[in-house]
């Protein structure tokens, strides 16, 4: 029998056949071609990822800087900055955000004047003081006018800021004033007595536990806090008198913490006239185009930053007081 019929499949039985070299060369070419295709595919995937990363980076940069693009406006316009909600560190109307907005507005040569669009019940005297001081400094540095326009409310710390403006405009029904200082909190001693709970507190320093909500109020410490609030109130009054000057028609109630409507505020010299943003831009600044310079933090980012401390802060404020407030 012919040995070729006994050879394994695919084996011709002639190891020295020329076909064997041709097959090997063909297989090698196919393997190299496949390897090159795989390398090209990997390079393309890497390029695609880098391309998308660049696109996402460009989009993120655009979103982050979109609010600042108004700073490039050079044609004559009225610059507006929103001061809304609580004036506090970490809030939208924080000194950090408002001061950054002020810098952008004052440094733009096209901005003919700066308008503070206010709707706030007040907040931190520290934050308000920083903003007031910076407005005064920038006005002297750039020689531009600043106008405050009140929407619903301009009370306490908000009025502390408005006092730095050259003129204040209100609506006849706006709420203006509340020039006073407060520090609030709670006391739980009576409830603890009813529940039979004993407060065990150890301190180093006679006043370390001052105004502890679970201990009886100490009259000496109370007098100390009251004196401190009085000093802050005096600082507030000084700022208002400096800002309003001879326009202020002071009465015994002016600095008592009362609030007035817009018409009353104008009559008392706490405001200069009735008018909204459009009126001030058109009739006072003489630049009808309005450009918003307000620095607004991304809501998601702000919530993420605040979430970690909100629970502890909420309990602390309820138990120990929310700190000194101009409200």
The pLDDT averaged over each successive group of 10 residues in the chain (327 residues) is 44 53 74 76 77 71 52 78 96 96 96 98 96 98 98 97 98 96 76 74 80 78 88 95 97 96 97 97 97 78 49 46 57
pLDDT at 5: 39
In DSSP terms, 113 is beta-bridged to: 78, 145
Q: What torsion, rounded to 10 degrees, do the Cα atoms 301, 304, 308, 310 define?
A: 90
In DSSP terms, 175 is beta-bridged to: 153, 261
pLDDT at 23: 74
Phi-psi region of 123 (alpha: psi -120 to 50; beta: other; left: phi over 0): left
In DSSP terms, 118 is beta-bridged to: 83, 150
Contact present, 98 and 64 (Cβ < 8 Å): no
Query: For residues 155 and 86, what is the distance between their CA atoms, to the nearest angstrom?
Result: 11
Q: State pLDDT tens for residues 270-327.
A: 999 999 999 999 999 999 999 999 998 655 554 554 445 444 445 444 444 445 666 6
Query: For residues 243 and 237, what is the distance between their CA atoms, to the nearest angstrom?
Result: 10
The CA–CA distances, whole Å, from 314 to 91, 311, 317, 320 equal: 15, 5, 5, 10
102 Cβ neighbours under 8 A, 6+ residues apart: 81, 114, 131, 134, 135, 138, 293
Place of tokens 């903003």: 131
The CA–CA distances, whole Å, from 305 to 92, 126, 279, 310 equal: 13, 21, 38, 9
In DSSP terms, 77 is beta-bridged to: 111
Nearest to 120 by CA among 163, 85, 164: 85
The percent of residues above 90 in pLDDT, for the chain, comes to 53
Nearest to 320 by CA among 212, 209, 199: 212
pLDDT at 13: 45
pLDDT at 3: 45
Contact present, 120 and 93 (Cβ < 8 Å): yes
pLDDT at 320: 44
pLDDT at 64: 53
How many alpha carbons lie under 13 Å from residue 63 in its C-beta half-sphere? 9
Q: State pLDDT tens for residues 1-27.
A: 444 434 444 444 444 556 667 777 777
DSSP letter at 326?
B
């Amino acid at each position: 029998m012919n040995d070729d019929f006994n050879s394994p499949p695919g084996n011709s039985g002639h190891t020295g056949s020329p076909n064997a070299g041709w097959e090997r060369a063909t297989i090698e070419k196919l393997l190299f071609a496949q390897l090159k295709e795989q390398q090209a595919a990997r390079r393309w995937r890497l390029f695609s990822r880098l391309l998308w990363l660049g696109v996402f980076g460009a989009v993120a940069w655009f979103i982050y800087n979109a609010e600042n693009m108004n700073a490039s406006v050079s044609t004559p316009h009225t610059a507006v900055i929103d001061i809304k909600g609580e004036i506090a560190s970490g809030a939208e109307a924080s000194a950090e955000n408002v001061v950054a907005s002020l810098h952008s507005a004052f440094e733009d040569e096209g901005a003919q004047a700066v308008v503070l669009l206010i709707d706030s019940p007040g907040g931190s005297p520290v934050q308000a003081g920083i903003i007031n001081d910076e407005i005064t400094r920038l006005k002297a540095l750039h020689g531009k006018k600043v106008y405050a326009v009140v929407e619903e409310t301009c009370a306490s710390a908000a009025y502390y800021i408005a006092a730095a403006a050259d003129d204040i405009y209100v609506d006849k029904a706006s709420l203006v004033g509340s020039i006073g200082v407060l520090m609030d909190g709670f006391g739980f001693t009576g409830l603890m007595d009813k529940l039979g709970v004993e407060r065990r507190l150890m301190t180093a320093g006679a006043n370390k536990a001052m105004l502890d909500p679970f201990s009886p109020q100490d009259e000496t410490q109370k007098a100390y806090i009251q004196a401190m609030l009085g000093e802050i109130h005096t600082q507030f009054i000084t700022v208002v008198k400096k800002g309003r000057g001879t326009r202020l028609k002071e009465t015994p109630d002016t600095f008592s913490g009362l609030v007035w409507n817009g018409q009353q505020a104008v009559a008392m010299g706490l405001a200069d006239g009735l008018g909204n943003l459009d009126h001030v831009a058109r009739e006072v600044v003489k630049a009808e185009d309005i450009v918003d310079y307000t620095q607004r933090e991304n809501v998601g980012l702000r919530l993420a930053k605040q979430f970690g401390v909100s629970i502890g802060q909420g309990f602390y404020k309820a138990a120990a007081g929310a700190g000194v407030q101009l409200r």
